[in-house]
A and B are shown apart, each in its own frame.
Chain A
Amino acid sequence: MFSKITMITKFKSIKNIGSFFHFDWDAVNPSLQIDSNGNSILDRNNVQKVIKTQFNKLNVLFGENGTGKTTLVRLFKVLNEDSPNFIQKNWDHDGEACSFEIETDSTPISFNDAAGIQGNLFKDKILIFDRDYIDSFVHSFPTGRAANHNKNTGSLILYLGNFFQYRTQLNNLSQLKRNLQEKSDKIKSKRDQDFSTLNPTSSYGEVKNAFNTLTPAELLDLPECTKLQQETVESTEKEIKEVNQKITQADEILKTTQPKKIGVITPVTTSDIDGAFSFSVSTAAATAMSRVAGREDFIREGIQITHDHSLDECPFCQQSIKEEGKYIDSISQYESIFDATFTSEQDRVRRVLQTYKSSILSLLGFHVPEGNGEAVTKINRLLNQDDHFPDVALSETDKRTLELELGNIEAKQADITKALSSNARGINLIVDGLNGKIDLYNKQVELVEQKLLKAKSDISSGDLPRQKATLEAKLLQEVLKLFVCRFHNELSRIFSQETVIQKNEQTVRKLGELFELLRKKVEDLFKAFVSTYFSEIEKNLSIFCPGLELKIVGTNPRYDLRVGVSGDVTCGLEVHYKNRDRLRDLSEGEKQAIALSYFLAFLNKETNKNEKIVVFDDPINSFDSGRRKQAAELIHKEAINFGQLFVFTCDSLFRSYCLKVSNKRLGNQRNFYYILKSASSAIHYRPKEYQTIYSSFKQDFRNIGSVAGTDDMIVVYGQKLRYCLEEIKDRHLGYSEDKFEDILNAVESGRITSLISKLDEIRELYSYCNTGGLAHFPKDGQTSWNEIKGQIGKYMRLGL
C-alpha cells in the first residue's frame, strides 16, 4: 500500500534568502485573471477565469545564471536535510531576518530565524542532482601514485557514490594507526634507551624479574640492600678468583705444605715451685752446711759409714763423735742434713727449680714454628687469600718478668736452703696469655690448612670447572640484584612505561582489527553496489557517451591498504575509451554524463518512489545538444514514477526538450516557470498557451494599466522588462548556443539594421535595468511604479 503522495505546491514566500529578497508567489502569479482595464476575464460560463499556477507533478523552471535557481535548489536541500544549514541570507541584507513559507497539498512548511523549520514533510525524501552531487559522489584518484602521476604507470580509479568518502575514512584510520604505531615505538624506544643508559648486564626481561623479586624489607632500605649486595658480589668475585687461581696454580698448590700449629705451653706447678722456693734448714744446720760447703759428699759418705758400721769415731780422723752414747752436736747436725730424706728433699727442690728454670727459659725462647710465615704467604698467593697469623710474641714486660724470675731461680739454686719467694703465679699468667694467643694462632693455622686441603681436594677431584661455572652463575644473579637495588628508582620509572606501552600497543592492534572490519564492510558494500547499479550505470552511460566504458577494477573489488604506496586496486571503476584508460582525459561533459548515469541508476533502484521528490539542477549544462535530448528523455523516464519532479535549467534547448518530453509523458501534469531576477528573484508561472515568455510578458506590459503599482509589482515588472531587453540580443544577434554561421546569417538578413536607429533608447533602458534605479530597488527607493511604467512604455514603442 502506497503512502499518500505529498507534493510541494508553492514557494509561497521567500524573504531575504539567497537572491530572493522579497518573493510573494500569489502577487507574482495571481490566479484571478483581469484584462487591461482591470476587469475580470470571464470564462464561457461567465465566471471569473482562474488559473492554477501551483507546482504540478513535473515542473520545469527556466532561469539564466544568477537568477536564483541555486537558492531554490538549496531550499530543497533544507527540506531534505531538515536543516537550515543551506540557507544563505541575501548578501545585501544579511543583518535582516529571513524566512520562507512552502505550501503543500498537505500541511504548510515554514521557516524563520526564530522558530526554525516547522512542519517539514520531506526529510530524506528529496533526491537532488546538482553540482554538489557530482562533486560528492564522483571522484577520480590515481592509485599508487601522487600528484606527479604518469599515465603510463597505472590506472586511474573512478569512485562513485560514497566510496571516495569510505576510502578517505579508511585511509584516515590507516594513517591514525601508523601515527600511533610510530608514537608507541618512540615511547618504547625511549624506554629501551633509558634502560640501555644504565648499562645493564642482563636482558630487559631478566632485570624486570629481578626487580619484581625484591622483598618488602629490601625495598624499605634500598641503600642498605645495595651495600649488602655489593659485599655479596665482591665475595663471589673473590671466590671465582680463588677458583681461577686453583685452576691455574694446581701443580704448585698440590706441592705446598701446610703451616704448623704451636704446641700449648703447660703452666708451671705453682705449689711445687712455691714449696721449692720455701725450702730451708735451721740456723745451726745452715751453719753446719756452710762449714762443710764444698765437702758435702765427703761428709755424707762419712755419716753413711758411721751409720753402717755403728762407729763411735770419725771414720776419717778417728776422733770421738759420741758423748754419753749420743752423737755430738755437730755430727747430729750433719746427720740431719745428710740423711736420706733431707737429701731426697733437697734433690727434689733442685729438680723443681731446674724444671722451673727450663720452663722460664723455654718461655723466653718462645717463637712460632719456622716456615709458617713463608707458608702462609705462598698459600695466600696461590689461593688468592689474605690470611695472616696473629702475633704471639711475648711483651717486653713479660720478658722482664721472666728474666727476673730466672734470676730468682738461680738465686735459689745458689743457696737452696735459703727460703725465697717465687713468682710462679705471675709466670702462669704469662703462660695463660701466651696460650690464648697460641690458640688464636692455631685456629688461623687450621683455617689456612683447611683452605689448602680443600684446594688440594678440589684439584684432585677435578671439580673446579663446575665450581667456577656455579659461582659465575651465582655472581650473575647477584650482580643483577645489585643492579636492580642500585638503579631501583630509574628502573621503577622505566618499568612504569610498560603499562603505557602495552595499552598503546593494544590500541594500535585493535585499530588494525577495526580497520579490517571496516575494510570488509566497504568491500561488501562495493560488491552490493556493483551488483545493484553497475549494469544500469553502464546502460545509461552508453546512451550519453557511446564508446565510453566503465570497468570494475580487478576481478575481486577490494580496498587496498597500500593505496598511496604501491597498491593499485580499490573499490572503484576504470573508464576506458577504445580500450584505453580515459579517466585522466575526461571532459566536464563526460564527467557529468557519468554522474548523471549513476544518479539515474540510483533513481531506477530507489524504493517508495511515489513518496519522494526528484530535483535536477542543470543536469546537462556541459552536454551537447544531442545528449541534452537524450538526457531529457532519460530523466523523465526514470523520474516519472516519483511523487514530483523539478528540473531547473538555464538552457533553452534543454527546456524545450523537457517540455516536449513531459508533454508526451505527462500531458497536463506538467508546468513551466521562469525564474527571473532584478532586485529580487522570482518564480513566474507561464501558462501553456503562451508560446514564448517574451510574448507573455509583452501581453502583461499591454495590461499594465490594470495592475496595482505595489513595490512587489515594481520588482516583477522590472524583471520582465530586463528579460525582454535580453530578447533583443537573442532575436537580432543570435542565441549564444547558435552556430556562428547562423549568427552571420542573422546579420546578413538585415535584422541588425533595425536596431541602429534605436540604440540610444535601448542603451537607456538597459542602463535603467542594470545600473539605474531598478537595479537598486527597493534599497534606495528611487524607482516608482510610474517610472517603470514609463520605461515599459518606451520599450513597447521600440516595436522590436
Chain B
Amino acid sequence: MENLLDKVIEETTDQEVKAVAQSIATLDLTPEEMEANLIASGHFVLENNHDNQV
C-alpha cells in the first residue's frame, strides 16, 4: 500500500504542511493518536500555561 503521507511530505513545497504531515507521522493512527503527535510536536496547544507567560 502506497504511503500517501510520505508522498505528500516528499512533494509539497509548503513547509508548514510538510511539518504538520511529519508530526502526524503516519496515517495508520486514530484521530486521537494523530492529535497526540501534533500536541507532542507543539503544532497544537491545548491550553496556555499562564504561569509561564512573561
Contacts and interface: CB of A to CB of B under 8 A. Distances in A.
Interface of A: 162, 165-166, 169-170, 172-173, 175-176, 179-180, 183-184, 187, 492-493, 496-497, 499-500, 503-504, 506-507, 510-511, 513-514, 517-518, 521-522, 525
A500 B53 contact: no
Given A180-B44, A517-B17, A522 B35 contact: no
23 contacts: A166-B4, A172-B31, A172-B34, A173-B27, A179-B31, A180-B38, A180-B44, A183-B44, A496-B53, A497-B48, A503-B45, A504-B44, A507-B20, A507-B44, A510-B16, A510-B19, A514-B8, A514-B20, A514-B21, A514-B24, A517-B12, A517-B17, A518-B27
B7 A521 contact: yes
Nearest to A187: B47
A201 B39 CA distance: 36
A166 B1 CA distance: 9
Contacts, number: 82
| Majority secondary structure of chain A interface residues (helix, strand, loop or mixed) | helix
B35 A513 contact: no
Nearest to A504: B44
Contacts of A517: 8, 11-12, 17
B28 to A, nearest CB: 7
Interface in B6-54: 7-8, 11-12, 14, 16-17, 19-21, 24, 27-32, 34-35, 38, 42-48, 50, 53
A504 B50 contact: no
Contacts of A511: 20
B43 A503 contact: yes
A44 B30 CA distance: 69
Find the residue from B11, B14, B24, B27 having the highest chain A CB count within 10 A. Answer: B27
> Chain A CB within 10 Å — which of B4, B24, B31, B47 has the most?
B4
Contacts of A179: 31-32, 35
Contacts of A169: 4, 27-28
A183 B17 contact: no
Nearest to A165: B1
Which 6 residue pairs are nearest across A and B when measured between Cβ atoms?
A169-B27, A176-B31, A175-B31, A496-B53, A510-B20, A162-B1
Contacts of A518: 4-5, 8, 27
B43 A507 contact: yes
A173 B34 contact: yes
B35 A180 contact: yes
A522 B27 contact: no
A162 B1 CA distance: 6
Contact of A496 (B8, B34, B42, B50): B50
A513 B9 CA distance: 12
Contacts of A514: 8, 17, 20-21, 24
A326 B35 CA distance: 141
